[in-house]
Amino acid sequence: MPSVPGVTDNSEMTSFPPQWDDGTTADSAEHQVHWYDERTVIIRQALRTNFEGPFIYLLLGSERALLLDTGTGHADLRKVVDELLDGRDLELVVAHTHGHGDHVGGDNQFATPGSEGKEGKRRIRVVGKSAEEVAEYFGISAWPDEVVEFDLGDRVLDVVPIPGHHPSHLAFYDRSTQLLLTGDSLYPGRLYVFDWPAYRASIARLAAFVAAGKPVRLVLGTHIEMSQEPGVDFGFGSDRHPGEHQLQLAPEALTELAEALEQAGDTPRRIVRDDFIVFPLSPAGEPL
């Protein structure tokens, strides 16, 4: 990893669980909470609450905390977030990688202000789900071509619109950790593509954004559907994931995806790679 001016290399202080709990046993917690570093929390909703088992990110700055996604709504995320933020004087912004139900399902849990925080009541802002609402909140005037900054206080994120899996999809690049959060657009699993031309263009733009001087330490998405066997996934709706692929992907995964889409051309087709499967769907959700 080349050193970058103004960025502290804290990679030795970061961690992942050796293996995520897929959360299938009756006594597994509704959420597995893992501190990646002292300002970054990765939360995994247990498969036993919903087969999607989405990952949720909580990024702490000096002025606000950003919760990225609220899961399916089948588990009490609010309680987890309240505990994590307890005693911290931070506004909470609840935003989303995209508007699918397994990422916005818990939004209504955040409809009431927190009991701790600024002036006794934590301010909570829940960002809408549509591309229009997302663009308005983050100040993106030229959707999807414009990249904007979002400052949590001493922690600047770059917000990159990447529609294709979903019209309001965003990627977040965290300059301080050099993590690239890619939601459902790139993760170790089935990358469902509902709008092929938009997805191809989005991944090409994201790769170009990174290549233009944004070093990526790891790519983090919002599901695991691959097994540890290269190119082999768990079936759709699997309620157990024995021997899951790890969550984090090397930065080369983005390059690999961009090149595969470039080669695939204009006709949607399934592309199986070791760490992910590009899986085009019709607008009605039928495999192509």
Task: Give the residues lining the site for Zn ion (CB under 5 A).
Answer: 100, 102, 184
The single-letter DSSP state of residue 126 is E
Q: Which amino acid is at 115?
A: S
Nearer to Zn ion by Cβ, of 17 and 101: the residue is 101
Q: Does residue 12 sit in helix, strand or coil?
A: helix
CB nearer to Zn ion: give 109 or 185: 185
Residue with tokens 């939360």: 43
Element (H, E) at 174: strand 170-174
Count CB neighbours of 221 within 10 A.
26
Contacts of residue 60, Cβ cutoff 8 Å, sequence gap at least 6: 39, 40, 41, 88, 90, 152, 155
**Please, which residues have CB within 8 angstroms of residue 155's CB and are 6 or more apart in sequence?**
39, 59, 60, 61, 62, 174, 175, 176
Instruction: Identify the DSSP state of 141.
Output: S
The least distance separating Zn ion from the CB of residue 208, rounded to whole angstroms, comes to 23
Nearest CA-CA partner of 24 in 282, 239, 185: 239
Give least dist CB 214 to Zn ion, A: 24
The least distance separating Zn ion from the CB of residue 105, rounded to whole angstroms, comes to 10
- Residue 71 or 114: the one with the smaller Cβ distance to Zn ion is 71
Give the nearer residue to Zn ion in terms of CB position, either 60 or 278.
278
Asked if 109 and 78 touch (Cβ cutoff 8 Å), the reply is: yes
Virtual CA dihedral for 15, 19, 21, 24, nearest 10 degrees?
160
Q: 184 or 275: whose CB is closer to Zn ion?
A: 184
In the complex, the smallest distance separating the C-beta of residue 169 from Zn ion, rounded to whole angstroms, is 8
Q: Are 49 and 23 in contact (CB under 8 A)?
A: yes
Cβ-based nearer residue to Zn ion, 53 or 117: 53
The first and second tokens of residue 2, run together, are: 């080349």
Tell me how far, at minimum, the Cβ of 73 lies from Zn ion, in Å.
Answer: 13
> In terms of CB distance, is 91 or 275 closer to Zn ion?
275
- Considering the complex, state which of residue 122 and residue 169 has its C-beta at the smaller distance from Zn ion: 169
Residue 83, classed as helix, strand or coil, is helix
Shortest gap between Cβ of 161 and Zn ion (angstroms)?
Answer: 15
Min separation Cβ 183 and Zn ion, Å:
7
CB of 187 to Zn ion, least distance (A): 8
In whole angstroms, give the CA distance from residue 91 to residue 64.
5
